[in-house]
Amino acid sequence: MLRNLVWFVLGTSMLSNLSVLIKKFDWGTVPDWVGALGTIAAVAAVALQINSEHRWSTKKKKENSRPLFVVLNKFMIPQNATIWSSFSRIDDTGFDWTEVQLVNNNFARDVFVDIRGKISKLKSDGNSYEYVNERRLISIPGIDASAILLDTHDMLVDNIIMFYKTPANEFNEMVLTQKGHVFRTPEYFNSTDDCKVKQKYYAYKNEVEHLGSLKLGTRMSDGTVVGSYVVTADDKFFNDRQFMKQFNDKVKRNNKMLKLYREYNNLNSPSDKGTSDKKRK
């Protein structure tokens, strides 16, 4: 009871003193309040603008650091070209390769390449061939200014997906589709605009590491091959007997097709047809 009385007396005294202070305090005029509020609003606006410009600058920096590529089908391999393959050995050198060339100075690092398509395989009867699905997963430490070749030999490529990190530590994805042996314009995606790109990057990373620990450099039952092997097209590579055999076979086929093409044009050429009509007369 005594405690409550003490608190009542103290509370009454504090309220009395507070009312006296409020009366003595100079609260200023309405224009003063308007000016003060305007100053606070201006400071807040400047802070928001600085924050917005910082975000814009960071985003622009990421955009400017994204690698851009040109991807082409390559028939002949240039001397000293670098070939990245999922196979431990390229016994069958083939001719259909895919060249990846960086067109700016933004190097890609920690690259994972997923190549999907079909290969020709001898049927069990041993008399005919069929197309079966094949998937080649290749991990590459980085891609710089020098062009590289992806091992797509003897493969009808449907699409190529590349995941990589940019110099700004952003995760990027490039998707390529092929139609009629010609690659379409690459599509690019980034983790800044789409958080799923980062998730997919690590999903590929985990898949490559897991499958690679099982069977590295060999074809699995589902047609998947995982590896990270680099081959340089030096003199030894070009002097390989298998390479020379395939080269000669390819030249023979091309000459045969050229001969048939010329014969067809001669048969359907108007000038030749007019000459033959004159000879008949």
Q: How many CB atoms lie within 10 A of CB 244?
A: 12
pLDDT in tens, 209-237: 888 777 777 778 888 888 888 887 765 56
Of the two residues 91 and 251, the one the predictor is more confident about is 251
CA-nearest of 103, 118, 117, 116 to 188 is 103
What integer is the mean pLDDT of 24-46? 63
Tell me which of 178 and 137 has the higher pLDDT. 137
Closest CA to 101 of 72, 138, 69: 69
**What span, in angstroms and rounded, lies between the C-alpha atoms of 264 and 273?**
12
Task: Kindly list the domain boundaries of the chain, sorted by start residue.
Answer: 69-238, 241-276
- Give residue 221's pLDDT: 83
**Adjacent-strand bridge partners of 56:** none
Q: How confident is the model at residue 59 (pLDDT cuts 50, 70, 90)?
A: confident
* Helix/strand/coil (H/E/C) assignment for every residue in the chain: CHHHHHHHHHHHHHHHHHHHHHHHCCCCCHHHHHHHHHHHHHHHHHHHHHHHHHHHHHHHHHHHCCCCEEEEEECCCCCCCEEEECCCCCCCCCCCEEEEEECCCCCEEEEEEEEEEEEEEECCCCCCEEEEEEEEEEEEEEECCCCEEECCCCCEEEEEEEEEECCCCCEEEEEEEEECCEECCCEEEECCCCCHHHHHHHHHHHHHHHHHHHCECCECCCCEEEECEEEECCHHHHCCHHHHHHHHHHHHHHHHHHHHHHHHHHHHCHHHHHHHHHHHC
Q: Comparing 41-45, 72-76, 106-110, 163-167, which segment has the lowest mean pLDDT?
A: 41-45
User: What value does the mean pLDDT take over residues 128-152?
Assistant: 90
Structure tokens at 139: 């991990």
169, with CB counted inside 10 A (0-12, 13-18, 19+), is exposed
21-25, 45-49, 272-276: least confident range: 272-276
Report pLDDT for 72: 86
Mean pLDDT of the chain: 76
Which amino acid does the sequence have at 63?
Answer: E
Counting residues of the chain whose pLDDT is more than 70, the rounded percentage is 61
Q: What is the CA radius of gyration of the chain?
A: 36
Between these two residues, 256 and 55, which has the higher pLDDT value?
256
Whether the per-residue pLDDT at 208 is higher than 60: the answer is yes
Contacts of 113 (CB under 8 A, 6+ apart): 84, 136, 137, 138, 139, 140, 150, 160, 161, 162
**Model pTM greater than 0.75?**
no
**Residue 153: Cβ within 10 Å count:** 20
CA 35/CA 41 separation, integer angstroms: 10
Residue whose token pair is 């201006």: 42
The yes-or-no verdict on residue 24 having pLDDT over 60 is: no
- Across residues 71-91, what is the average pLDDT? 79
Average pLDDT over residues 171-178: 92
Cα within 13 Å of Cα(280), Cβ side: 6
Does the structure show a pLDDT above 70 at 107?
yes
